[in-house]
Amino acid sequence: MTQKYAQLNEYATSTDFCRIFVEQMNTLYLLSLLLTADSQKAEQCFLSGFEDSMNSTFVFRERAHLWARRSIILHAIRVLGPRPDDENDFNEERLLPLNGNVPAEVQAYPRLARIVELNSFERFIFVMSILEKYSAHECSLLLGCVRRDVINTRIAVLRHLAGAVIGMEPGLESDVAVFAEKPICRPLSLSPGRAALADSFGSNTAATSSSLTVKSTVAEAGL
């Protein structure tokens, strides 16, 4: 019993975090992409989350995967600074696609594309509160807004996406699972030390001294 308790309270190491980012690379990258709606910014937030996680201490090993996702979310918030409307006028008519400007990686997945087409604040609310299960209070703290903004936006987005996403949850989960299996051959710049460590985890990645290219990941629907 004591040994089991000790194992549950072990802190995650940089090796643990590296394994998480290698094995769950596609789902973590998808999280970043849904938040940023931009391939370059998604890569930036993914790599920043990776570096931040690798340097983290006193994170319990059993919660390391949640910490990795949270790190990406926090970096995405810093990069985009999503804010609600000045008038706090949340309505379905305002929730329109952003000129069809959808990253190439999700164009083949209509449900994911609909999420990306939301504006920044709506996207963050949907991903954080619906997909990541953050409470309205935690969302408001991280996004620097009041709880009413979170609740009102969540309701408006759910209504707007009801036919495309919420009413077809199995389809959304299927899109995420397929995305997780599909190789994303994007070069992700890593420092030589980080690339070497990632390379040590084998066939999931091909790392060089300056880049990490995704070859495949585990078929794990992390959202």
* pLDDT for 109: 82
* pLDDT for 191: 55
* pLDDT for 161: 82
What is d(CA 205, CA 188) in angstroms, rounded to the nearest whole number? 11
pLDDT digit string, tens, across residues 71-105: 999 999 999 999 997 444 444 444 444 445 778 88
* pLDDT for 29: 93
Query: What pTM was estimated for this model as a whole?
Result: 0.75
Report the candidate in 64, 68, 62 with the shortest Cα–Cα distance to residue 25: 68
What is d(CA 140, CA 137) in angstroms, rounded to the nearest whole number? 5
DSSP H helical segments within 162-209, as ranges?
A: 169-181, 192-199
Residues in Cβ contact with 113 at an 8 Å cutoff, skipping those fewer than 6 apart: 102, 106, 107
Strand order of the sheet with strand 187-189? Answer: 187-189, 211-214, 205-207
Q: Is 164 exposed, middle or buried (0-12, 13-18, 19+ CB in 10 A)?
A: middle
Residues of the chain with pLDDT under 70: 1-9, 86-100, 163-174, 176-223
